[in-house]
Copies of this chain bind each other. A is one copy, B any other.
C-alpha cells in the first residue's frame, strides 16, 4: 500500500472538502465520531452540468435508499458512483434538500448560519466554477424514517463512531462533501463533528 492510498482527509465540522476521483477509485467515508450527516455530491469531472441525481437514481435502483451493490446515476442516467461497502445500519437519505440560509431563517429567524448549500458553492468556487443550482444531495448517514401515509421524520443519525461507507467512481468525478452544520434539528444529535475519508 503506498502513501497516497493511506492519506486521510478531513471534512471539518460545518465545513466541506472536495476531491477528484479517477474511474475505479473508491472513497471510504468514515463517521469518525458517529452521528454526523454528510451531504455528498458527485459531478462528471469533464462536465459539471452532469451530476449525480437522486431523482434519477431512485428510478435506476427502484428504491428510496441505496445500499451495497447499487449504482447511483447522473442526470444523464449514467453510472457515477457504486455503493460497494456499508458498515452502518444502512440508513441514508435521498429525499431531503441540502440545508441553506433559508432553512435556518425558518428555524431560527437568522439567515446567518453555516449551511450545506453554501459549502457546495464554496467548494465549486474554489475550483473556479461559478455558483450553480444545487443538485439534491446523497445524505450519507442521515436517517429520515418514512411512516404511515408517507410521513417523514427527522431523527438523530444512528451511525456509530467508526462506521463507514465506500463508494467507487464509475466515471472521473469531482466529489464534494459537507459535514452538515445542522444544530437545531436532531439530525446530527445537535453537535456537528468532523468526518474523515480516504481514497483506496
Contact = CB atoms under 8 A, between A and B. Distances in A.
Interface of A: 49, 53-56, 58-59, 62-65, 75-78, 95-97, 100, 102-103, 106, 132-134, 136, 146, 149-153
Contacts of A76: 102
Nearest to A78: B102
Contacts of A153: 62
Given A77-B106, A106-B77, A136-B136, A53 B97 contact: yes
Nearest to A57: B97
Given A56-B97, A59-B97, A97-B53, A146 B64 contact: yes
B58 A96 contact: yes
B150 A65 contact: yes
B102 A77 contact: yes
Copies in the complex: 2
Contacts of A150: 63-65, 146
A145 B197 CA distance: 36
A54 B54 CA distance: 11
Contact of A151 (B63, B95, B106, B132): B63
Given A62-B151, A146-B150, 9 more contacts: A53-B97, A54-B55, A55-B96, A58-B97, A59-B97, A59-B103, A64-B152, A76-B102, A77-B103
Contacts of A49: 133
Contacts of A59: 96-97, 103, 152
Contacts of A96: 55, 58-59
A47 to B, nearest CB: 13
A55 B77 CA distance: 19
Contact of A136 (B55, B106, B134, B151): B55
